[in-house]
């Protein structure tokens, strides 16, 4: 049986850790790519990970490179390339810089892997998905943003800790942009099938929702010199698995919504069925009045972000 080929563009913490999770799960052979200025760094990380294979017991082949030719004919390409926001850097500076980086990556991948499915992890997430979609020219089903899997994982973790139950028994769903305007759906959160609203008081649940929205910032504040990478990488690997194994997972991802939810042509987080073709289906669920209001605020924030990006990079 032919192994899937998974290329990861960006060999920093998130990219390298995604390679780690994907290799350990034997999702396919992995190519870890970074810019030529990093010289042999991706080769070193790939070799180090490959040398762990006899210990962990996986047979994935792992290579590092600075040449896009080595990623040719990939089944899945993960884009983690970009820079984090630094002190003194404006939001527009980050947006413009990463839009150029992600656009360049998408253009290169479209040349060498025209049939690949793209998973975008770079921030600002929703705008970067829009950028990769526009530059690659791919069908919207094959350009997907990783945010919802991470955000629901944080939400589920906090609920499990609050109730002192297994995380495996907590299920949740959220909509909208990645960040402050995400919309965790209380109506879809359950613990062992029991609605979470039956188990946690409203004021405490509101605090957990806010902590979920601030999840990335909380880790940045604690680390001081970096941002989260274990959970983002694990979330990305789960999406890769759903695609290469055609698992038909129903999970939240950032995708281009046109008529769905009346979004009107922007990339936002919604529930999708993820399988071998990428987004197999966008799931529309009924929202109550409060959820509709919050979701519209999130859509408006994404639109503003995309409009800013368009002015900055065209």
For the chain, how big is the Rg over CA atoms in Å? 19
Cβ count near 198 (within 10 Å): 8
Per-residue b or e along 50-69, where b marks 16 or more CB atoms closer than 10 Å to that residue's CB: beebeeeebebebbbbbebe
Task: Determine the 3-state secondary structure of 147 from DSSP.
Answer: coil
Task: Give the closest residue to 76 by CA, choosing from 128, 113, 111.
Answer: 113
Catalytic residue status for 198? no
Q: Which of 5, 178, 213, 249 is catalytic?
A: 178
Q: Which residue has the tokens 């409009």?
A: 307
Q: How does DSSP assign 247-289, residue by residue?
A: --EEEEEEEEESSGGG--SEEEEEEEEEETTEEEEEPP----H
Q: What is the distance between the alpha carbons of residues 144 and 31, in angstroms, rounded to a whole number?
A: 19
Neighbouring-strand partners of residue 267: 256
Which are the contacts of 22, defined by CB distance < 8 A and separation ≥ 6? Answer: 6, 8, 28, 30, 60, 237, 240, 241
Q: What is the distance between the alpha carbons of residues 49 and 122, in angstroms, rounded to a whole number?
A: 23
**In this structure, what token pair is assigned to residue 227?**
């941002």
CB 49 within 8 A of CB 88: no
Q: How far is CA 274 from CA 56, 66, 246, 251, 289, in A?
A: 28, 30, 8, 7, 28
Per-residue b or e along 278-307, where b marks 16 or more CB atoms closer than 10 Å to that residue's CB: bbbebeeeebeeebeebbbebbebbbebbe
> Which residues have a catalytic role annotated?
178
């Amino acid at each position: 049986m032919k192994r899937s080929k998974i290329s990861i563009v960006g060999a920093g913490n998130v990219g390298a850790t995604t390679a780690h999770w994907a290799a350990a799960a034997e999702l396919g052979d992995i190519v870890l790519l970074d810019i030529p200025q990093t010289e042999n760094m991706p080769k070193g990380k790939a070799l180090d990970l490959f040398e762990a294979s006899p210990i962990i017991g996986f047979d994935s082949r792992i290579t590092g490179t600075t040449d896009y030719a080595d990623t040719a004919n990939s089944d899945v390409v993960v884009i983690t390339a970009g820079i984090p926001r630094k002190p003194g850097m404006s939001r527009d500076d980050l947006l413009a810089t990463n839009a150029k980086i992600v656009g360049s990556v998408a253009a290169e991948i479209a040349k060498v892997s025209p049939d690949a499915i793209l998973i975008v992890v770079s921030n600002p997430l929703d705008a970067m998905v829009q950028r990769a979609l526009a530059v690659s020219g791919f069908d919207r089903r094959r350009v997907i943003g990783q945010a919802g899997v991470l955000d629901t994982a944080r939400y589920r973790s906090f609920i499990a800790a609050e109730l002192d139950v297994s995380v495996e028994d907590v299920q949740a769903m959220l909509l909208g942009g990645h960040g402050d305007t995400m919309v965790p759906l209380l109506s879809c959160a359950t613990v062992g099938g029991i609605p979470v609203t039956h188990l946690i008081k409203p004021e405490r649940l509101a605090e957990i929702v806010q902590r979920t929205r601030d999840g990335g910032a909380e880790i940045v504040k604690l680390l001081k010199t970096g941002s989260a990478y274990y959970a983002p990488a694990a979330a990305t690997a789960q999406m890769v698995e759903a695609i290469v194994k055609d698992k038909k997972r129903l999970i939240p991802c950032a995708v281009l919504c046109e008529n769905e939810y009346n979004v009107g042509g922007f990339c936002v987080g919604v529930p999708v069925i993820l399988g071998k073709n990428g987004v197999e289906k966008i799931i529309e669920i009924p929202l109550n009045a409060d959820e509709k209001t919050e979701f519209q605020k999130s859509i408006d924030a994404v639109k503003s972000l995309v409009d800013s990006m368009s002015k900055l990079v065209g």
